[in-house]
Copies of this chain bind each other. A is one copy, B any other.
Amino acid sequence: MQPLLLDRLLQIADLFQKDMARAFDGTGLTPARVHLLWALQHAGPSTQQALARLCGVSPRNITGLVDALEASGHVRRSPHPSDRRAVLVELTGTATETMTQMQQEHADLDATLIAAVAPEDRAAVERGITAIALHLETLVADAAASEPAKGAP
């Protein structure tokens, strides 16, 4: 009995996360903090509310993550130019370099993994994985919609 395709996919994600965590080790970075840095790199300077939405966590949680990243010199808080309630969070120069390098390594790993697939299978794998991701996204969205989180069922 061979493992299910789904189990293979989960194994890949697990291995990747282990590898990431090992790479951070000693830098003060963690998966949650890197996720925030990654969101910042893509969105540019953002309010904490925006980061909470992008990362899918509570605003309170963002406060803690930004506190830690500010202490380690990865991000900077500055006053919002037009809304005195809000702050803008942005990457520092060194963090921008770190993220650029991380993105490069990410792309390199992607190329390495694709190279492990037989050339005649590559197009089918791309198509298949994309189809699975889209289908699963639909399933999860439907499940979430039919069960409105809290309150009125």
A contact set with B: CB distance below 8 Å: 4-16, 18-19, 22, 106-107, 109-110, 112-114, 116-118, 120-122, 124-137, 139-140, 143-144, 147
Contact = CB atoms under 8 A, between A and B. Distances in A.
Contacts of A112: 135, 139
Given A8-B133, A22-B140, 6 more contacts: A5-B114, A10-B13, A18-B140, A22-B144, A112-B135, A118-B131
Given A12-B136, A19-B143, A140-B15, A5 B110 contact: yes
A118 B110 contact: no
A129 B5 contact: yes
19 contacts: A4-B110, A5-B125, A5-B129, A6-B109, A8-B129, A9-B12, A11-B133, A112-B135, A113-B135, A116-B132, A117-B132, A118-B127, A118-B128, A120-B124, A122-B128, A125-B125, A125-B128, A125-B129, A129-B129
